[in-house]
Structure 1
Amino acid sequence: MGQYAPFSDQGSLEEQIKGLADEELLDFWEETQQLAKMLDQDEAVDVDYNPEYERVILQELQYRTCCKGQF
């Protein structure tokens, strides 16, 4: 399962996402969707969800889909 560690020496979010296998990337995307849904439903939680995860994941999925069609 893919994980993003913002304070690690592994590089940026984009670099980490590019290194994930397709299935790991889809798992990570699903987890971010579940987290966002939980945060939306729980009004007692005072945490801002960062949509940057979703944007970067979707961008990588689109890139991979386009590239697979070219081969």
Structure 2
Amino acid sequence: MFASLHTSALTLARVERGGKKAGAGRLSRLLQLASTRRRLASLDDSALADIGVSREEARRESARPVWDAPASWLR
């Protein structure tokens, strides 16, 4: 699954920006976002309370697909 996600994200990024360098930067940010969402899902209730996020908010955010990224992450 990861390999196909990696290939799809890279292909999409190259098409949108028209180059390997731009595509690699976007891919890196998308992979960082996926990692951040996984870590958010693994936080305990105490850690979530410390950052002001409810368990439900963390669940919703971590369930979002990697391509559902804020526009600022794709620049």
TM-score, normalising length: structure 1: 0.42
Higher helix share: 2
Look at both structures and tell me which one has the larger radius of gyration over its CA atoms.
2
TM-score, normalising length: structure 2: 0.40
